[in-house]
Each structure stands twice: as C-alpha cells, then as structure tokens.
Amino acid sequence: MHARPVPGPGGIRHQRPRHLRAPRGGPAPHVVARHSELREHAIREVRATGRPIAHVAKDLGIHKEALRGGVRQAEADRGERDDRVTTAEQDELKQLRKEVAELRRVNEILKAASVFLPRRSTALRTRPGR
C-alpha cells in the first residue's frame, strides 16, 4: 500500500494508510487489559505455587525482572514489605506532584501580574481616629 496524497495547508502531503499509522495515546485498551490480566495471573501463580519467578516468567513469556518487580509491588501493597511504597501511595504522590506543579505555575503568573498592579500604601488602609 502506498501513501495517498491529501491536500493540506502547505500543499499536498502524503498520508499513510490507517493500519500503518502510529497509535495515538498509547496502546489500545484491550491490549492494556490483557497485559494486566497476564501480570496478575503470573503474580498469583508465583505466590500460590512457590515456583521461582524466573520459571514462571519463562513459562508465560514475561521478562523475569518485570515479574519480580510486580511480585514485590504486590507484596508492598499487602503490607508484607517496608522497602517500597504502595500503589496507593504512588498514586497519591503523583497527584500531589501535579498539584504542586500547578500551584507553582499559578504563583509565577501571579508574581508576573503583580508588577502591573498598583501598590496600596498602608496609610490609606488605616484611618486615624478609629
């Protein structure tokens, strides 16, 4: 299949067929769901059977270090490990970092805008005799 000509603002450009275009926004939801299910299945199998992580990973076609990380994270989420933060804590940190970044951005905007605002003198705010 060849790229087809498409009129554009700068003249004609060539557009790739849909099936050859790069996906937008990451993998499709069904791919993510299958990946999550496979990961959860692998973690359950390691915990239930006690088999070595490397053997389970090889059987399921998962990289052993990816499975090892998943098992450790699952243990942290259950409170069995103290050397890792839980998934809930990671989510909270991510949200707090977003909020801090937004507040810093707003603060910079307000600092820049304050240059254009007139300053009030303290003499105008306090009236003598009251």
**Mean pLDDT rounded to a whole number for the chain:** 83
CATH 3.40.109 is right for the domain spanning 27-84: no
In this structure, are residues 81 and 75 in contact, taking their beta carbons and an 8 Å threshold?
yes
The H or E element containing residue 4 is strand 4-8
| Dihedral (Cα; 105, 110, 111, 114), 10-degree rounding | 170
Half-sphere exposure of 28 (CA within 13 A, CB side): 4
pLDDT attached to residue 115:
86
Instruction: Give me the residue label for tokens 């299949």.
Output: 1
pLDDT attached to residue 130:
55
- Tokens standing for residue 10: 């700068």
pLDDT tens for each residue of 85-110: 999 999 999 999 999 999 999 999 99
Closest CA to 3 of 19, 23, 17, 20: 17
pLDDT attached to residue 35:
82
